[in-house]
Amino acid sequence: MAKSKTKPVTVVLFGATGDLSRRKLLPGMLHLLESGLIPDLQIVGTSLDEHTTESFIEFVHEAVKEFSGNDGDMEAWPEFAKRLHWAPGSEGAAGLRAAVEKAESESDGRTRLHYLSVPPKAALSVVKTLEEAGLVKGSRIIMEKPFGVDLATAKDLNSELHKTFDESQIYRIDHFLGKEAAQNILAFRFANGLFEPIWHRNNIDHVQIDVPEELGLDQRANFYESTGAYKDMVVTHLFQVLAFTAMEPPTSLSPDAINEEKNKVFRSMVPIDPANVVRGQYQGYRDIEGVKRESETETFIAIKCFIDNWRWAGVPFYLRTGKRMAEGARIISIAFKEPPRSMFPKGSGVGDHGPDHLTFDLADKAKMSLSFYGKRPGPGMKLDKLSMQFAMADTNWAGSVLEAYERLIYDAARGDQTLFTSAEGIERLWEVSEPLLENPPVVRPYRQGSWGPNQIHQLIAPYAWRLPFERQWRDPDALGS
């Protein structure tokens, strides 16, 4: 991997002993050091847990041993261990300041990133601690969702943040957009003369953004009871992916230009009509400890929404996500309008398998496919659905793919806000959500391991959900066997 000229970076990691830190952030930062993307990295960990620097180093060692995807990263462990520091949470702002000064004692001109891997209710107290410690000026702050739970709370949160940090210093993280495949949408759309001209209501019938999850909520029910699938997933993730899919060509690939086009999409969104929403709850959710017996929290949501602008007027966007579903997936599927079929004889098969689709798989092993009709060899005119597929794993770039959190930490270190969410964007999305939040439809039960409540089929009719796929992704290793 090419070496980077990233300035020296200090990451102040709040919630350093939490689950996200253990599974993603610490292994990710080890990889950024090992790969040379951030060659001079210092990490100051802090949390409410009792640790010394020595016991924190031991904790990190166990975490990266268990969760580092690339075994080669562990070769950098001895160097990484020297860069780990601990600030006891009990010592407050003064202890934090002292730990940061010690970590930065050997070099000047460092970029300082404060990563808030903490519960939402703790975020503003961390901001206050940073202010008391004199660690705000020239630094950047990375925040995890949720960014409020409605328009009023989002405005309050932004207002409080802006008392201490300028908007340009705030990086609201969305790990969906850190995935290589999400960024590939921009390249695919705007770099190819084949696709850019047809990305339009004249050619596109509808769009699906589908993120079912197999996992349940056994460990997170307390948190989830106050949010639900819409606040947890749609506002923070799926709407951001929708913006990448629907935005106009930016004037350049600069963060400001891209964010302006994303915000134009949000400004053009029609407020969500509760009649175009299906809410569901998997059977057994109410039996989980911490869940109210009469809970109306949705663990599943499907939405039909519209973007009222010149490019997308009248094109429905279907969004779906839920817990305990048949399989885990993250796809964007573009359905193209079907041409007239009058020239093809009855029984030819044209139209039998629905419209042509362009599908992006946003899972960690990024893939794309384009489906189309082709003639079956032999006499007569019999058509079959065929597909062309591309998988990142088939290329010699596969080893260069950064895990989503690695990419986002690296971008924040470089000051690139392309993949992060702005205050304006977040507030507009809560504004669009108000009709649904004020008048949510009834929650319908669905079977664990299914694709959601039956009403989802009425929501999307006369179309059909792309998942479950009728045709599986091809395994290139199986070809020719």
Helix (H, G, I), strand (E, B) or coil at 468: coil
CA separation for the pair 247, 262 (Å, rounded): 6
Residue 322, annotated as binding a ligand:
no
Question: What residues pair up with 277 in beta bridges, in sequence order?
Answer: 303
- Neighbour tally for 66: CB within 10 Å: 10
Residue 63, annotated as binding a ligand:
no
Residue 385, annotated as binding a ligand:
no
CA separation for the pair 475, 367 (Å, rounded): 12
Residue 290, annotated as binding a ligand:
no
Q: Are 10 and 104 in contact (CB under 8 A)?
A: yes
| 237 belongs to the catalytic site | yes
Residue 367, annotated as binding a ligand:
no
- Neighbour tally for 355: CB within 10 Å: 19
DSSP codes of every residue in 168-225: GGEEE--TTTTSHHHHHHHHHHHS-TTTGGG-STTTEEEEEEEEE-----TTTHHHHT
Residue 145, annotated as binding a ligand:
yes
Contacts of 386 (CB under 8 A, 6+ apart): 371, 372, 373, 374
Residue 268, annotated as binding a ligand:
no
Closest-CA residue to 465 (of 480, 450, 475): 450
Q: Are 406 and 31 in contact (CB under 8 A)?
A: yes
- 24 backbone dihedrals φ, ψ, rounded to 5°: -120, -50
Residue 3, annotated as binding a ligand:
no
Closest-CA residue to 211 (of 280, 138, 301, 345): 301
Catalytic residue among 51, 85, 114, 237: 237
Q: Are 428 and 267 in contact (CB under 8 A)?
A: yes
Residue 55, annotated as binding a ligand:
no
Residue 323, annotated as binding a ligand:
yes
CA separation for the pair 65, 281 (Å, rounded): 37
Is there a cis peptide before residue 146, judged by omega within 30 degrees of 0?
Answer: yes
Residue 213, annotated as binding a ligand:
yes
Residue 365, annotated as binding a ligand:
no
Show the tokens assigned to 75: 């070769």
Q: Are 247 and 317 in contact (CB under 8 A)?
A: no
CA separation for the pair 385, 327 (Å, rounded): 24
What is the longest distance spanned by two Cα atoms in the chain? 83
Residue 232, annotated as binding a ligand:
yes
Residue 349, annotated as binding a ligand:
no
Active site residues: 237
* Binding-site positions for substrate: 175, 179, 213, 232, 323
As annotated, the binding site for NADP(+) includes: 15-22, 145
Binding-site annotation, residues: 15-22, 145, 175, 179, 213, 232, 323
